[in-house]
Every structure is written in C-alpha cells, then in structure tokens.
Structure 1
C-alpha cells in the first residue's frame, strides 16, 4: 500500500512474467514429442502423452507445501527458491539421456514452476498469463523444435527463467501481511527488549504448530468447503480438457492433415484467439456488475461487495465450453472466465488464507490436467476426433448447473465454513 506506483507495476509485472513462463513450459515442448520418441526409440503413445502432462502433475504436488510455506515464511523466499529449482530442472531436461530421465525432470520442473500460480494474485495480467502461456508455447516451440531440436526448448526456458530470477532478486519484495507484521514485531522486540510485543496477526503458535496447520489447511479447505470443492471440480474439468487438446493437437494435425513440425504449432492460435475473446467478454461483464452495486451489495449494510459477484460470468463460460468442444478447438474462450472468476473469488472470500484456497484449487485442476490427456489417445482411437470431442462436450453440458447454483447459494455455503478455525 505504501509503494510508489512504478514499484507496484514492477512487482506485478515480474510475477505475471513468471506466471506466463511456467505454464508456457507446460506445452512448449509438445511439438517436440515426436522427435523425443524417435530419438529414444520409443513408440508408446501413453508415454508420449505422459511426458507432456507429467509437468502438470508437478503443478498438483507443489502447492501442497509451497502454499503453506509461503504463509509461514513469506512469498518472496518461495519465489526465489522455486525460480532456481525451475532453472536447474529445465537444464536437466535439456540434457536428458532417456525418456525416463526427461519425464522425471519434467515433473520437478512443474513442481517448482507451480509457485507463481499458487501464491500470485495480480489478477488482470495474472489471469491472462496462465491461459495464454500454454497456447503461445507450442507456436514458439514448433518453430524452435524444427530449427534447433527439442532440447533447445528447455535451454530457452532456462535462459529466460535465469533472466527473470535475476530481476526478481533485485526488485521483488515481500507482500504477505502476516510475515511483514511479524518481521516488524520481531524487530521492535529486539530494539525495545520488550518480549510482549506481538503482531496483530500473531496466533500465539510455535513454528511447528503453524506449519502443521498450514500444510493441512489446503486439504481441509478442499474437503470441508463445499464451494471450494465444487469450483475446483469445475476448473479441473476445464483445465483437463485444455491439456487433453494440447496433447492431441500435434498428433492430430501431423498425422491426419499432414502439417509439418513448425506449422503444427500454429494450430494452437485458435485457442489463443478464444482466450482473448473470453477475457475481453468476462472483464466487461465483471466491470458491469461492479458498477451495478444493487446486485453485489445486497444484505451488506456496510456496503462491502460480496465475493460471489465474481462468479456471475461463470454461467456464460458454462455454456460456451460445450459449444466450443462441439466445434473443436474454440473451447478456450471459457478458460479465462474460469481462471479469472474462480481465482478472484477465492482471493476475496479467503483473504489471508487465499494461498491455501488457491493451492487446493490448483491441486485438483492439475491432477485433471495430468490425467485426462492420458485417456485422449485411446478415446480418439475408438471414437475418432469428432465423436471424441462431442463426448467431452456432453460432459461439459452436465456441469452447467454448477456455476448457476453457486451464484445463488454461494454466500450461504461460504459462511458455513471458516478457514481461520483450521
């Protein structure tokens, strides 16, 4: 709150760049999979899909300890440590000597890359970064793989990650209120020799107790908060569908339509256009509801807007998702709606525990993103691309009631669950 505007812009910009880079890494490698399988003499389609989606599995595990650690030690040290880890495993991916080594390194690359999407909260650019990153990745990756080979994908990620890490070490500052206040209280205790000085957010727990509660909190929020469970399931399906398409586009357009390795990446641009359209529509809808105070301040005598106003545009996305799947490829205009609405809602609703709520959501969506693509090859071989995507569309149709019900009953469900008691 006390920073000058330029410094806020720098910090938000760096976190958004990290949030763009790590999802970019999830799919940038996709056009190079055929080269990898040929180089290592492996023709297993399941392994070919898994070496892409295992990255997202790392996204699922990382938040379980990164989020609580950030609430205990602060955001800044988590960013620095995970940035270094991401660079190390990007280099190891580039130097992999087998499919097994590459798969393992991809997992840890994703694990360390999960930090920005777990503890970041610069919602405007931040929401666009994780949905545009996986789309731009294959476009750039297709040309890079064709020109320099699949290993250079990871060298580029390591180089860009290294540059961002240096900038983060220079400019990033701590933003987590509880850690800032505790640091100040500790400094005052030392200066005044008054051991009774405590932070306003101090809960009088030792480090072991704090970490135990923090590590358990994402799981308990996921299990005991009905609205988090429902939103996580909804986002999980959308996210899983997105990565299922990522893992099948290369094979579909190369085998069925004869696209080259460099040109096949361009097929992902349809998803990118859908992202931009979706973000523009959803942003305008959110602005409209923000201006219409009667819809969002009802039953709030102090005039504070309810977090549920964030969920209003989800109804639009629930309809566009199955339509897009039936048309094959334009489903991504629903993804910005899901990311922007759900993430902003969780931050508004859970406040100081937002990282844990986001972590719970990230775990579920990442598991879906890692597992669903593994079923893609078998599904399309049996049903074909037309009926395969139609099946996904019919499943999406069944999810339409979720945002409608949450918009109506979300406040009641939210108030029944108190994260501070965990």
Structure 2
C-alpha cells in the first residue's frame, strides 16, 4: 500500500501544515495474529510541475534532496557541524583556569569582573541566535554558518592581544556571537538531513559538543594557562577554530530545502527562458523580501514568548544550564584550596562530569529512537513529539543527586575522589534531560528547527552568563554543603515539569498554534 503522507507545505513563511511526524500509517495484517501497527516516517516532497510553473524535486528519490543523501554523506556533514559545536563551547570555559595569571597581568582583583570576563562569552550566545537562526531560514544554512564561524575565529586574535580586561570582555562577547552559529544551526541541519526516526542518534552526537565543551575546556585550559600563559588559550583556539572553519568551507553543502529549490528555480528559469516559474517552497506572490526578512527575524522571539511549549522548555533548560555553570564556579576553588591541586590538575576534576556526559550520550543515543517507535506502535502507529519526553522525566530525577553528593563530600573534605565521582550523576542526567528537549523541539517545529533552537539557546545562555555571578557570594554565605543543597532542591522542584509536559504537551501545542 503506498504511503499517504502529506505533501510538504509550499509556504516556508507559515507552519500551517501538520508537522512531518503527523502522518497516516499502514497496518500489516497477519493470519491468526493481532494486527500490528506499522510506523511510517516517510513524508512526501513537492515535485516539479512545469505545466503549472512549479519547481520542486524531480522525484521522491531525487538525490538532491538532503534527506535522500547517502548515509555516509549525512554523517560526514553532521560530523563537521558537531566538531565546530565542540570548539565554541570549549572556548566558553577554557579560559577560566587561567584567571589567576590574567589577574596578575592586569592587576585586577575584583572577583565579579574576573568571573564576568568568563561568562560574557555566553552573553554573546544570547544575542547571536536571534539573528543567525532566521537568516539561515531565509538565505540557507551554509552561508550563515560559514560567516558565523569566521566571525568567531577572528575575535580570538583580539582576545589574545587584549591590552586590558575591558577589551578582553568586549572581544569575548563578539566571539560568543560568532561561536553560537554552530549551536543554533545544528538543529536545523539535523531536521534537514534526518527523518524523525533517526533524529535521536543524530541529535545525541551533535549535542555532545555543547555539553562536553565546557567540561573539556577547563581541563585543557588549566595546563595551557599554567605552562604557556592565558594568551595562548586564544592562540590555540584560533588555530583549531580556523582549521575547522576551513573544513566547513570545503565540506559543508547547503541542506535547507527551500534554498536549494530557490536556486534550482533560478537556474531553470534562465535555461528555459521562463519568467513564470516559482519554487514549491516560495511564499505567496505579493510578499516582499523585506516582509519575509522581518517575519524571519521575529520568529525566534515569537516562539519564545508566544509558544507555551517553547517557553516551558526554555525555562527548564535555562534552570539546568544555570545549575551547570553554578556547579562550575566552585570546582577551581574547592580543588585548589581544599585539596591543594595545581591549576592544571584542577582541570582534571571535571573528568567525573565528563564521563557522566559520555555515558548519558551512549544511553540516550541508543534508546531515544527505539523508545519513540515503541510508543508509536502502542498508540496505533501514530508518532507524536511528546513520545520523546518519558526519558526527560526519568533523568530529571537523577539531576539533584550530584549536588548533595558533591556538596557535602567537599564541605566535609572527604577524599578528593568522592566529590569527583559525585559529579558523574549530574553529567549523566544533563545529557538525559538535554537530549529529549532538543529532539522534541525539532519534532514540534521541523520547518523552523533553527529558530526554535535559537529561542532555547538564547534563554539558557542568558541565565548561564549571569547566574554564576551570584555563585561566589552564595557559597561564601551558605557554604559548600548547604549552597549545593539549595541547587539540589531547585532541581527537585522541577522534576514534575517533565511529567506535566508529557501529559499535557500535545493539548497545549494544539491549543496555541503559531503562524510562523
């Protein structure tokens, strides 16, 4: 029986058609056995109809469509994007262990300013996505990603040569704006390349960078700052970031379907001498480019403030991200002052959390898509985005564990291995919470995954940039034990969030649709 999948909407300026997971399904009869629903995830792409002046794909198997690329090519594209997505978050924290040498060079003793010189990078993550994501949905992924990468790389030179701390803060802010390109557009590239039943594994691989980068950063930065000085942190980021940016120029091709068809339309119009041709994804006639640009730039903010689903997800992810960076604020002082570690060795304390991230990646990557398909089969073969969320509920229960374990073991000066191991559950749970949110967002808004992810990135980065500034004062007042316990209680309070979203997410999503 042929698929009865929907035809993709020809209008990229609206999201009125159902998402690509809302599809009709076949049932395969068996003799003497219950009918087992077969879950189909294939969608129908708009095809070329020159009689009507419509330019689309040559066929459903058109090799030019990104979802028809060979799997080896898809994974190669994802690998390049994921590599950049590791370097940029690495830059956010790689500098932190070298603050002592920076303080000596610039004569800066204000701890708030020193902390701000680190967290300002994340403030760049707040503003950049709101511009880059909609631009990628108008002009394509490749050109925006390339421009953002080079913008990130160039500002490493300014950071390395900064004459005073004020200049360094400004340069790191601009580097953060460029560095957010890969984090913002990665979700869009995944939506472009992979059907819904393959996005779990793809998103797991891509998400490892944003989570592991801030953990690996202090490990590398500690040794570099101790042996070569803090300025070499930026020279190394320049070399590695520049190399990967060249890789993007060589290997990354356009993956956004509307832009590919727009270029195909222009080529056919020239070859055939026809002025009436129109791309299948083009907006309705009479919509000016200025209006398209204005609507695109508004899209991330519309999603953030007018979509309850994105608002809820952004709030929860911001809380988790803020907890992560508050966690980071205590590690250098705890292991240098209480355990006598050198700055380089102190960076190794992050390994406990890093191993948790890796284990979480393995578990979520191998189970996310399988659980989705199993739940869809139980529901009669119909896929719903909310089927991604049971994992969120499960892992949210583990999130508070590390705060009590690490906080009290460090407070009582138990052997150093105990607080390091205690960080592991947090890394494991963060991956388990992060992943369902990212994939759920892509599944809810596949046509505008970049803008939806931009809303999440901007909100969590804002909290991650500013909340840690309160960390030193909070831990000074409450101590390591009760200070971390307070963070643990906050994590406990948000455990029911996933349960509510799993139960009522579909109702909320359908009750408050957005014309994007």
> Which TM-score band (shorter chain)?
over 0.9
Q: Is the 8 A contact 1:285 1:313 kept in 2?
A: no
Q: 1:229 aligns with which of 292, 296, 311?
A: 311
> 1:10-409, aligned counterparts within 5 Å?
10-121=76-187, 122-204=202-284, 205-292=287-374, 295-296=375-376, 303-328=381-406, 329-330=423-424, 331-409=426-504
CA contact (8 A) 1:27 1:246 kept: no
Whether contact under 8 Å (1:89, 1:108) holds in the other structure is yes
Post-superposition Cα deviations, 1:7-50, rounded to whole Å, max 9, x if no partner, equal 32321111010011111111111111111112111111111211
2:476 & 2:488 partners in 1: Cα distance? 17
Corresponding residue SS for 2:278: coil
CA displacement at 1:144 relative to structure 2: 1.0
Between 75-84 and 182-191, report the one with greater CA deviation.
182-191
SS in 1 for 2:512: coil
Distance 2:369 2:138 in 1: 34
User: Which secondary structure state, in structure 2, belongs to the residue aligned with residue 114 of structure 1?
Assistant: helix
TM-score by length of 2: 0.78
Unaligned runs of 5+ in 2: 1-66, 188-201, 407-422
What is the count of residue pairs matched by the alignment? 417
Q: Deviations over 1:293-327 (max 9, x none)?
A: xx235666xx3411111111011221111112211
Deviations, residues 371-421 of structure 1 (Å, cap 9, x unaligned) = 1111101101100111111001111111011100001111111122334x1
Q: Which has the larger radius of gyration?
A: 2
Q: Label 1:267 to 1:11 Cα distance change in 2 as closer, same or farther (>3 A).
A: same
- Range 322-331 or range 63-72, more displaced: 322-331
> Within 1, Cα distance between the matches of 2:390 and 2:146?
36
SS at 1:175's partner residue? coil
Q: Aligned partners of 2:329 and 2:116: how far apart in 1?
A: 9
Q: Which residues of structure 1 form unaligned runs of 5+?
A: none
CA distance in structure 1 between the partners assigned to 2:227 and 2:434 by the alignment = 34
Comparing 394-403 with 275-284, greater Cα deviation is found at: 275-284
Provide the secondary structure at the position in 1 that maps to 2:276: coil
Partner Cα distance (1:124, 1:318) in 2: 17
What TM-score does the superposition give when structure 1 sets the normalisation length?
0.95
- Aligned counterparts of 1:17 and 1:93: Cα–Cα separation in 2: 22
SS in 2 for 1:320: coil
Q: CA RMSD in A?
A: 1.5
SS in 2 for 1:340: helix
- Between Structure 1 and Structure 2, the one with more helix by share is 1
Q: Using the alignment, how far apart are the partners of 1:282 and 1:60 within structure 2?
A: 27
